[in-house]
Amino acid sequence: MEVVTCREIEAAEAILDHTRVDAVVTDLCVSELGGLEGTRLIRHMATHFPETDVLVVSSHSSEEIRELALAFGAATFYEKPVDGALIADRLLKGRAVPASAVAGTVQEVETLDDVLRSGAITSVLQPIVSIQEPGSGYPPIHGLECLARGPRESMLRNPEILFEYASRKERLYDTDLICIRAGLEEARPLGRGHRIFLNVQPRSMTNPQFPSEVSRLVQESGFDPGDVVFELVEQQTILNPRAFARTVAQVRQFGFRVALDDFGVGFCNLHLLLDLRPDYVKLPRYFAQGICGDADRQEVVRSVQSLVATLGMPVIMEGIETPEELHKVRDLGVEYGQGYYFARPQRGADLLATPSFAHHQSRIAAAL
């Protein structure tokens, strides 16, 4: 049995949105404001994952509270103190299981404040290459995407869970700045001569201090704002694209560039091309998968590439994993590629030691 424990309800919600579990046990405790913490988690699971059992434990066990928990969607209510063996038996649904099979691990998820203070957030780098340039061998490196990673051996190592947690705690801006700093530090030893792609939440970019603070971080890392491209993720938070376009214009005044990430899925739609005028458009791995044998997928990519090229915006195809995918994407006119076929995300020192990056550095030296 594997058990994950969370000290904050926002961490539990973030994990449950990205990880399937067999059951949830929540403590229906009294909050500082006098409400019953835990009912929110019961409602969350009942709404989004009704097939998952929610077990409630509480020292507040009046008939009214018990009925409230069950009405919200709890499967079972236990009055504290409760024997852990009783909960384990309920989770196993009464099945006779050897003790050796029940034994497992318990992982406690850190609080977001502890993670942000610990310095445990790091970054890995993945090259973005120019796939239209002629010649054999490794395509020229155009840029490096910095991908944040949370603490090792933690569920928060997954950046999707980490940022979901930060969003629910209203700490996106702090988290973004720490991830940006980690990415720049990881890319620093590789020097200049390529663009640094940094993921950022639109809500962070709207902070009035964002351009000046990030400019300082960029210059301290030995880069210039003109080297940096901000990839806009979670576009559903852009509720007023025309107003956000003014934010993008202010960021561009500092010399930064902007890319639309995951174009064509979720909320990243055509109107953002016109309102934001990004410098790059990134197509997600979804479009590269199976593209060789899918005429419809090829037509979609060809149409998007043609459209954004007319607007003066190059396309980056993510998720290229085979030579066949590379050839097909190249034939469709896409300018840049990214994916396991070229390199997996890795630490800067490891990337620096690869023959492909050494070849890239020799190209830069020859051009100077």
pLDDT tens per residue, range 56-76: 888 877 888 888 888 888 888
Q: Which residues pair with 36 in a beta bridge?
A: 30
For residues 11 and 111, the answer to whether their CB atoms sit within 8 Å is: yes
What pLDDT, on the 0 to 100 scale, is given for residue 34? 41
Start-end ranges of CATH 3.40.50.2300 in the chain?
A: 2-109
Q: How far is CA 221 from the centre of its chain?
A: 23
Domain 112-367 architecture: Alpha-Beta Barrel (3.20)
> CA distances (Å), 216 to each of 173, 180, 185, 352, in order?
16, 11, 13, 25
Among 12-26, 55-69, 296-310, which is the least confidently predicted range?
Answer: 55-69
Global pTM? Answer: 0.87
Start-end ranges of CATH 3.20.20.450 in the chain?
A: 112-367
What pLDDT, on the 0 to 100 scale, is given for residue 35? 47
CATH fold for the domain made of 2-109:
Rossmann fold (3.40.50)
pLDDT tens per residue, range 182-203: 999 999 999 888 999 999 999 9
Q: Which residue has the higher pLDDT, 271 or 129?
A: 129
Q: What angle do CA 130, 190, 281 make, to 5 degrees?
A: 35
Query: DSSP 3-state assignment of 200?
Result: strand
Query: Where do runs of H (alpha helix) occur along the chain?
Result: 9-16, 39-48, 63-72, 84-91, 99-102, 112-118, 159-168, 172-187, 202-205, 210-220, 241-253, 270-276, 285-288, 295-310, 323-331, 348-352, 355-367
pLDDT tens per residue, range 205-260: 999 999 999 999 999 999 999 999 999 988 777 888 888 999 999 999 999 999 99
Among 6-20, 54-68, 274-288, which is the least confidently predicted range?
Answer: 54-68
Structure tokens at 140: 């020229």
